Amino acid sequence: MIVKEHPLSIIHQCRILNLSRSGIYYLPHPVSEKDGGLMRLIDEIHTNYPFMGARSVRNELRDKSYQVGRSHVRTLMKKMGIEALYQKPRLSKSHPGHIIHPYLLRNLAITEANHVRCADITYVPMHKGFCYLVVVMDWAIKYLPGGYPTH
């Protein structure tokens, strides 16, 4: 985008493109070999234990005889886009613009099969990717295979 050999100065080119000049001169630093190895281990730990934060990952690394601080682990995790899985606050608070639909099955007597069905889908993380688990159920069936009641 910016051509240093252009007759128009870099200052004018940046002004025309509405860019900061500091970004033009910045040269990214390559990741060191030590940090590359740490990032590979952090990724392995995060794959096995996705709920661990920077402190727990640091403790795991120290158990494997790597001397590293929590802030460095946190920096590497942030660079990799890794974050511990945990329940965030206020997850069940609904958006004020969303419509609340009425429950249509409240007074409905379900007496026969194929009258009412329901479905559910969930995301299952796997070692090398993910998959979706989908279930379609008939509400008339009161017992699961094996004899366990559903209610």
Distance CA 95, CA 112 (A): 37
In this prediction, what percent of the chain has a pLDDT beyond 90? 39
Tell me which range, 6-15, 22-31, 63-72, 131-140, is most confidently predicted by mean pLDDT: 63-72
Q: Residues 43, 47, 49, 53: what is their CA dihedral angle, to the nearest 10 degrees?
A: 40
Please report which confidence band the pLDDT of residue 129 belongs to, taking 50, 70 and 90 as the band edges: confident
Tell me which range, 71-85, 98-112, 127-141, is most confidently predicted by mean pLDDT: 71-85
**Average of per-residue pLDDT values in the chain:** 86
Q: What is the mean pLDDT of residues 84-112?
A: 85
Distance CA 49, CA 41 (A): 12
Contact assessment for residue 10 and residue 24, using Cβ atoms and an 8 Å cutoff: yes
The string of pLDDT tens digits covering residues 132-145 is: 999 888 888 765 55
Q: What is the mean pLDDT of residues 119-126?
A: 89
